[in-house]
């Protein structure tokens, strides 16, 4: 059985910086509140009309491809993880294929919708394809352009201050070296609390889930009950009532996150017979610096064993792990043979972990 490894990695963040003070001009918030609750000082926003989720993913992918020692046309399969795609459909995977100038059509492009866990899910998928020998060069991209779809008014402040734009990419390749590569991946989901962190409209739901869960009537969710055909994807009422934005019950998500991160990390370690003390570098999904610090304490890791960069980039969802991993490698914090642990928790809820020998 072959093993897979990350053969090349790259990231891209847009130039434009949005500081906490910039946000105080748009909503009732403060630098002090944001830093104290999340650790975030600033985030990046893409350049409107010039940058998209796919173009940022392409910039990160070019670096990963070059570092993997291949050319774009040698990619066999694309996996694109995002919750902020360029289009509702088609997915950003084919747009990235076009941007990269990949002309061959003997490849597949898969878009995955696993929000903060998107990169871990994608890595697990890439790992399976490479291990079975089906593909040799799988390009996995996590990219987000959150800034285009946030509520910059005070009601949206709990969500908006957290998110930033950026992209990370890896090329997953086979290796026969038993001293390196992906050791295991663990994936989980629980749809019970799907609406606790969600961007529900526009969508085909028509108020169904809200009614079933007792969260409200169709009208509460921006629908006109009298309309029988069509016109319920986006309604004027949704726009008027500012419902076309992501929403989160922050404390509920926080409490679950700090439980699930250590749980899924320990599950991966158990699977391969290792202990928390064996971890050289933990790259947690950058959801909130307080969550990362809590997980670090629970696992008994030192500061130099965890890489956080949420202070500079905010939460970049599917992009946060590859950006942080690439940064840690570029800063010399990850050495050959190190045990690297990746872990994420987010909307769905979905969560997961991966262990790699670098
Ligand atoms: O990446 C996917 C997974 N996501 C996460 O893991 C996020 C988990 N949750 C969190 O990180 C935190 O819950 C937040 C940072 C989102 C919010 O922090 P919190 O301490 O849980 O605040 P809260 O939502 O409970 O709100 C507390 C107060 C409220 O005011 P009142 O009702 O007490 O008067 C909010 O209206 O803070 C207010 N508030 C703000 N004030 C200033 C919420 N957002 C802001 C803001 N600026 N940006």
d(CA 260, CA 314): 21
The catalytic position among 20, 114, 116, 308 is 116
Residues 58 and 143 in one domain: yes
The catalytic position among 114, 285, 288, 341 is 285
* Structure token pair of residue 337: 């043979």
Q: Which atom of ligand 1 is nearest to the CA of 248?
A: 16
Task: Note whether residue 74 is domain-resident.
Answer: yes
Residue 30 Cα to ligand 1 midpoint, Å, equals 12
Residues 56 and 168 in one domain: yes
Task: Note whether residue 57 is domain-resident.
Answer: yes
d(CA 306, CA 323): 14
Q: Please name which of 250, 268, 252 lies closest in space to residue 352, comparing C-alpha atoms.
A: 268
- CB 300 within 8 Å of CB 322: no
CATH assignment of the domain containing 114: 3.40.47.10
Task: Note whether residue 260 is domain-resident.
Answer: no
Active site residue 288: no
Active site residue 285: yes
Residues 91 and 41 in one domain: yes
Domain count, the chain: 2
Residues 150 and 207 in one domain: no
Residue 159 Cα to ligand 1 midpoint, Å, equals 8
- CB 237 within 8 Å of CB 223: yes
Q: What is the pLDDT of residue 319?
A: 98
Q: Which atom of ligand 1 is nearest to the CA of 287?
A: 1
- CB 15 within 8 Å of CB 170: no
d(CA 330, CA 260): 29
How long, in residues, is the chain? Answer: 358
Q: Please name which of 85, 61, 74 lies closest in space to residue 141, comparing C-alpha atoms.
A: 61
Nearest CA to ligand 1 atom 14: 250
Nearest CA to ligand 1 atom 10: 250
Q: Which residue do the tokens 């009537």 mark?
A: 217
Q: Which residue do the tokens 């809590």 mark?
A: 294
Residues 18 and 95 in one domain: yes
d(CA 330, CA 224): 53
Q: Probe ligand 1: pick from 153, 158, 190, 321, max atoms within 8 Å of CB?
A: 158
Residues 13 and 71 in one domain: yes
Residue 161 Cα to ligand 1 midpoint, Å, equals 9
Residues 91 and 211 in one domain: no
Global pTM value: 0.96
Residue 74 Cα to ligand 1 midpoint, Å, equals 45
Residues 228 and 139 in one domain: no
Residue 305 Cα to ligand 1 midpoint, Å, equals 28
Q: What is the pLDDT of residue 219?
A: 84
Q: What is the mean pLDDT of each run of 10 residues along the chain (358 residues)?
A: 93 98 98 98 96 98 98 98 96 98 96 97 98 97 97 96 98 95 98 95 89 87 73 82 92 97 98 97 98 98 97 98 98 97 98 98
Active site residue 315: yes
Residues 25 and 137 in one domain: yes
- CB 60 within 8 Å of CB 11: yes
Residues 58 and 153 in one domain: yes
Model confidence pLDDT, tens digit, residues 273-305: 999 999 999 999 999 999 999 999 999 999 999
d(CA 231, CA 239): 13
Q: What is the pLDDT of residue 86?
A: 97
Residues 169 and 44 in one domain: yes
- CB 173 within 8 Å of CB 139: no
- Residues contacting 155, CB < 8 A, separation 6+: 242
User: Up-side HSE of residue 81: CA atoms within 13 Å toward CB?
Assistant: 29
Q: Which residues line ligand 1 at a C-beta cut-off of 6 Å?
A: 29, 33-34, 37-38, 116, 157-158, 161-162, 250-251, 253-254, 257, 287-288, 291, 315, 346
Nearest CA to ligand 1 atom 3: 346
Task: Note whether residue 207 is domain-resident.
Answer: yes
Q: What is the pLDDT of residue 228?
A: 65
Residue 250 Cα to ligand 1 midpoint, Å, equals 5
Residues 46 and 169 in one domain: yes
- The range of the structural domain enclosing residue 105 comes to 3-175
Task: Note whether residue 171 is domain-resident.
Answer: yes
Q: Which residue do the tokens 């959150």 mark?
A: 146
Phi, psi of 259, rounded to the nearest 5 degrees: -85, -45
């Amino acid at each position: 059985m072959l093993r897979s490894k990350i053969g090349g990695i790259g990231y891209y963040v847009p130039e434009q910086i949005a500081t906490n003070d910039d946000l105080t001009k748009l909503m009732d918030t403060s630098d002090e509140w944001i830093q104290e609750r999340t650790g975030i000082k600033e985030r990046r926003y893409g350049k409107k009309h010039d940058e998209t989720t796919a173009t940022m993913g392409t910039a990160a992918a070019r670096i990963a491809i070059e570092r993997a020692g291949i050319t774009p046309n040698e990619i066999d399969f694309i996996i694109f993880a995002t919750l902020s795609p360029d289009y509702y459909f088609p997915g950003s995977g084919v747009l990235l294929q076009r941007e990269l100038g990949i002309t061959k059509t003997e490849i597949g492009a898969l878009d995955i919708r696993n929000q903060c866990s998107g990169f871990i899910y994608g890595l697990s998928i890439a790992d399976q394809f490479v291990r079975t020998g089906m593909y040799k060069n799988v390009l996995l991209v996590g990219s987000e352009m959150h800034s285009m779809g946030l509520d910059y008014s005070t009601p949206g402040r709990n969500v908006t201050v957290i998110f930033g734009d950026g992209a990370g990419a890896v090329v997953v390749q086979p290796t026969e070296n038993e001293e390196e590569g992906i050791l295991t991946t663990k994936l989980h989901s629980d749809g019970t609390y799907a609406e606790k962190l969600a961007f529900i409209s526009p969508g085909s739901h028509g108020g169904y889930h809200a009614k079933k869960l007792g969260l409200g009537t169709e009208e509460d969710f921006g629908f006109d009950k009298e309309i029988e055909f069509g016109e319920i994807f986006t309604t004027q009422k949704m726009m008027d009532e500012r419902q076309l934005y992501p929403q989160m019950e922050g404390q509920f998500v926080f409490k679950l996150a700090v439980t699930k991160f250590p749980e899924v990390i320990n599950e991966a370690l158990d699977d391969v017979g290792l202990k928390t003390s064996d971890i050289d570098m933990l790259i947690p999904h950058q959801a909130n610096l307080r969550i990362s610090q809590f997980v670090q304490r629970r696992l008994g890791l030192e500061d130099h064993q965890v890489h956080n960069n949420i202070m500079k980039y905010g939460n970049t969802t599917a992009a946060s792990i590859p950006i942080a991993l690439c940064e840690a490698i570029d800063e010399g914090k990850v050495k050959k043979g190190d045990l690297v642990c990746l872990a994420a928790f987010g909307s769905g809820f979905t969560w997961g972990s991966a262990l790699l020998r670098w």
